[in-house]
Structure 1
Amino acid sequence: MTSQAFQRYAEQSVPRYTSYPTAPHFSDAVNADIYQSWLTRLDPELPVSLYLHVPFCRQICWYCGCNMKLASKRAPLKEYTETLKREVVTLADTLPDRMQVSHLHWGGGTPTVLDPDDFEATMTAIRERFDIAEDAELAVECDPRTLAKSMIERIGALGFTRASFGVQEFDPKVQAAINRIQPPDMVKSAVDDLRAAGISGINFDLIYGLPYQTTETLLDTIDICAEMRPNRIALFGYAHVPWMAKKQRMIDAASLPRSAGRVDQASAAAEALQRAGYVAIGLDHFALPEDDMAIALAEGTLRRNFQGYTTDNAQALLGIGATSISRTPEGFTQNISETGAWARNVEEGRLPIARGRALIGQDALRGHVIEALMCLGKVDLHAAAKKFGAPERWYASSAGVLTDLMREGLIDFVAGRLSLTEAGKPLVRVVASAFDEYLSANKARHAVAV
């Protein structure tokens, strides 16, 4: 494959495929009543996972595309956790029985901006209504700039097993350009304190394609991170979407690396992480060989959801909090994003659903194939057809695209078995899009492939 051809594919705008159908296809046709019916049909003998969303941060990062609010006072945070607890009760009362939880993840925003007592009270409310499995993964996203020792001690005492940091980049000029100043010593101190509190799983997030970032600054950042030895490192491409994320208007587009620079940063960083002893997982994750995620990859049980790659194999992911997304065997839902409207619905005893998407037609089949490609880099299309009761050549409409991908050397495709080549692995989102029957009609703007 020529460098020009790779660049052409790398510049394609395609979804990240953390769900299928993707979020732009959610609509208000799926409401609280439909979600309630899906919940009542869950198997009470199988575990679920919980995701709690806290849309507050102490400081605003200009690169962030998340729906968040600035937390300058304690009162709104306390009110928010009170509503979270009410939603936990409403959700639990809707389920067919008291359910076991195999994974629990606090995301945001920055969940650790909450008062430790309020955080613990919410966990108590969950334990009163759900059974937390003994080997459950309890994870929380943190910001080392605002992570207090009192919160570290509390989440350690509560049995949390994993904490995530948004490191992004250590270069001072890049940090100033994204309004996130956090020197390496600050991050190392937080990591050391977390490990001392018994939280052994540490995740770092890095970003390439940031303003004023170069391949050299990113590689320096990786060297510093490797010394701290986090269990997992995610390497994301910055998506500059100022028409959606108004905070990003503070970033000068002229300071961003061009497409060829992004590709160089991504490939050089991936090589450096593997030299440092990390296993490449899917599109953008790396893990130490002994980490559960690397083991899941080797065993073929790796999954993908709205939090990215995961070892979570629960039958459903149930979102709690404003803007959180849920997945059940029958479809997806998303909570109301505006915190006031979300709170009013919860206080009135309703599931605060804004929109969603029911799985219809070949959605489950295509979602299975896309997830297999994103996670494992290979899939047997004929076996998938048999599993979902579809014709063997169900993918006939994609035949032309697959032929082009083979010609370019991105995939091998023999007797229905499709696998990514080394050249195709960085472009897995492009390959996955060949099976997205809604993409051509999708008016949403997505991030570039690399």
Structure 2
Amino acid sequence: MVSPATITPDLIDRLGGERVPRYTSYPTAPHFTAAVGPAATGRWLGEVEAGEAVSAYLHVPFCAELCLYCGCHTRVVRRYAPVEAYVAALVREIDLVAERVAGRPVLRHLHWGGGTPTMLRGSDMRRLMARLREVFTVAPDIEIAVEIDPRTLTPADVETLAAIGVTRASLGVQSLDPQVQRAIRREQSVAETARAVDWLRFSGIEAVNVDLMIGLPHQSVANVVPTVDHVLALGPDRVAVFGYGHVPWMKPHQRALPETALPGPHERHAQFEAAAARLVRAGYVRIGLDHFAAPDDSLARAAATGALRRNFQGYTTDGTRTLLGFGASAISSLPGGYAQSIADIAAYAEAVARGELPTARGLALTPEDRLRRDVIERLMCDLAVDLDEVCGRHGVSAEAAFAPELARLDAMARLGVVARSGHRIAVPEAMRGLLRSASAVFDARLATGPGRHSTSL
């Protein structure tokens, strides 16, 4: 069948309501179990080689207020004492990890996420960065990225970010429509967003990302496009357009959103494509599922050369095999598997105070997991995968490994969602919005998994 020029209403009805993962990992976090604890994490850390390039993620689970759409592990604080105590726990965890890795790994990427990392005092951000520099060899060209809430950013914060070597800032915007903002309890003006960008660039932090959302209450094509236009006026290097994931069974605060005002899959798809068309018309390159980058940005260059990667922070240029997650609920991707820290902040701090790695759960990777992970990552990054090439690297036959999947892909090909030529699978440009559904074909754990996910459109 020739692929339709667009995702038709019929395809949206068939596939748009599927609950499938975003595939920032495979296997996905709902499959983590308590069978992986501190001992396994310690063994896997011991497999990190001396001088190996690694990346790190620092999770700061605090915000000044809770946005109703939020799916992050975070909490609202009014006093600084809990934050200060948490910083001490982070420093201790950094030391515990450093004691278990061989030699001094080379830190090439560092991401400060949250929550709101700039909730930390400047002195505490400097303290954490200094400790990382003491226990790791920091690459001269390290990328240090930080997530920012423009509403709470101050000139002093920006001064701190510049001082610790931040090279990229990611600004949460979501929507600039007043009605949408009131519904999600995140009121943020165009002026304060632009002011944050100006401050960052004046300080020398020139790489700026902006995060937007579609599918929020009261959103429509008519108010999504003006938000994109306001963002384009800021000249960001990257723009992410995420689909809101309504999972009130996991995040109870989302129940306060007006569910009757949530757009359905047809409208969500129209919103995303309207935003995408506006960004592409402005010269941005579509990256994977939901990212857009200026042509000279490193993400666009990675996509053009097949070097694009995907990890827990989304699309990235980070090619390291080891991601060290620090903080409550943070996830590490290690040579042996995944390890997630205790989510409860107090319990996390108590564990590291006892000198224990704070692993609560995780998953040991099997050879089949690694094969499927590679296949899904290439599909999510390149919209195409050569199964013979990937299977060859793993020493297996594509026909033997994926016979059931190939039959399912043939059915999807008849709908125009994928194109198959032998063992080469591609998602046509017009079907990009169903990329998660195509990738889910290779997810051997999805049917029996305990987790629930947001809809694919």
TM-score per shorter chain, which class?
Answer: over 0.9
- 1:133 has 2:139 as partner: yes
Residue from 36, 42, 62 that aligns with 2:42: 36
Kindly provide the CA deviation profile for residues 178-197 of structure 1, in whole angstroms up to 9, marking residues without a partner as x.
Answer: 00011000000011000111
Q: Any conservation in 1 of the 2:59–2:326 contact (CA below 8 Å)?
A: yes
Segments of 4+ moved more than 3 angstroms: none
Cα offset, 1:424, TM superposition: 2.3
Cα offset, 1:242, TM superposition: 1.2
Residue from 218, 227, 251 that aligns with 1:245: 251
Cα offset, 1:121, TM superposition: 0.6
Cα offset, 1:169, TM superposition: 0.4
CA distance in 1, matches of 2:378, 2:403: 19
Residue from 391, 394, 410 that aligns with 2:417: 410
Residue from 194, 205, 208 that aligns with 1:199: 205
Kindly provide the CA deviation profile for residues 298-341 of structure 1, in whole angstroms up to 9, marking residues without a partner as x.
Answer: 11110001111011011200000000001023211100000111
Amino acid at match of 2:448: A
TM-score, normalised with respect to structure 2: 0.97
Amino acid at match of 2:429: E
Identify the residue that residue 72 of structure 1 maps to in structure 2: 78
Identify the residue that residue 347 of structure 2 maps to in structure 1: 341
Secondary structure of the residue that 2:142 maps to in structure 1?
strand
Secondary structure of the residue that 2:123 maps to in structure 1?
helix
CA distance in 2, matches of 1:302, 1:329: 20
Identify the residue that residue 369 of structure 1 maps to in structure 2: 375
- 1:184 has 2:218 as partner: no
Identify the residue that residue 383 of structure 1 maps to in structure 2: 389
CA distance in 2, matches of 1:430, 1:57: 33
- 1:421 has 2:421 as partner: no
Secondary structure of the residue that 2:426 maps to in structure 1?
strand
Identify the residue that residue 85 of structure 1 maps to in structure 2: 91
Identify the residue that residue 129 of structure 2 maps to in structure 1: 123
Amino acid at match of 2:215: G
Identify the residue that residue 47 of structure 1 maps to in structure 2: 53
CA distance in 1, matches of 2:163, 2:109: 17
Identify the residue that residue 439 of structure 2 maps to in structure 1: 432
Q: Any conservation in 2 of the 1:46–1:315 contact (CA below 8 Å)?
A: no
Identify the residue that residue 397 of structure 1 maps to in structure 2: 404
CA distance in 1, matches of 2:410, 2:350: 52
CA distance in 2, matches of 1:377, 1:45: 33
Residue from 216, 220, 227 that aligns with 1:221: 227
Identify the residue that residue 66 of structure 2 maps to in structure 1: 60
Cα offset, 1:250, TM superposition: 1.2
**CA RMSD, Structure 1 to Structure 2 (Å):** 1.0
Identify the residue that residue 449 of structure 2 maps to in structure 1: 442
CA distance in 1, matches of 2:11, 2:119: 46
Cα offset, 1:412, TM superposition: 1.5
CA distance in 2, matches of 1:402, 1:191: 44
Identify the residue that residue 320 of structure 1 maps to in structure 2: 326
Kindly provide the CA deviation profile for residues 215-238 of structure 1, in whole angstroms up to 9, marking residues without a partner as x.
Answer: 111100000000001111000001
Q: Any conservation in 1 of the 2:322–2:333 contact (CA below 8 Å)?
A: yes
Cα offset, 1:246, TM superposition: 1.4
CA distance in 2, matches of 1:258, 1:204: 24
Residue from 172, 176, 179 that aligns with 1:173: 179
User: How many residues of Structure 1 are paired with residues of Structure 2 in the alignment?
Assistant: 450
Q: Any conservation in 1 of the 2:37–2:360 contact (CA below 8 Å)?
A: yes
CA distance in 2, matches of 1:395, 1:234: 32
TM-score, normalised with respect to structure 1: 0.98
Secondary structure of the residue that 1:343 maps to in structure 2?
helix
- 1:211 has 2:217 as partner: yes
Q: Any conservation in 2 of the 1:410–1:422 contact (CA below 8 Å)?
A: no
Secondary structure of the residue that 1:440 maps to in structure 2?
coil
Identify the residue that residue 33 of structure 2 maps to in structure 1: 27
Amino acid at match of 2:369: D
Cα offset, 1:444, TM superposition: 1.9
Amino acid at match of 2:402: Y
- 5+ residue gaps, structure 2, are none
- 1:145 has 2:126 as partner: no
Tell me which moved more, 112-121 or 406-415: 406-415
Q: Any conservation in 2 of the 1:315–1:329 contact (CA below 8 Å)?
A: yes
Amino acid at match of 1:401: R
Cα offset, 1:142, TM superposition: 0.7
CA distance in 1, matches of 2:291, 2:270: 17
- 5+ residue gaps, structure 1, are none
Cα offset, 1:37, TM superposition: 0.7
CA distance in 1, matches of 2:310, 2:45: 21
* Identity percentage of aligned residues: 45
Identify the residue that residue 277 of structure 1 maps to in structure 2: 283
Amino acid at match of 2:337: G
Cα offset, 1:138, TM superposition: 0.4
Q: Any conservation in 1 of the 2:371–2:391 contact (CA below 8 Å)?
A: yes
Secondary structure of the residue that 1:395 maps to in structure 2?
helix
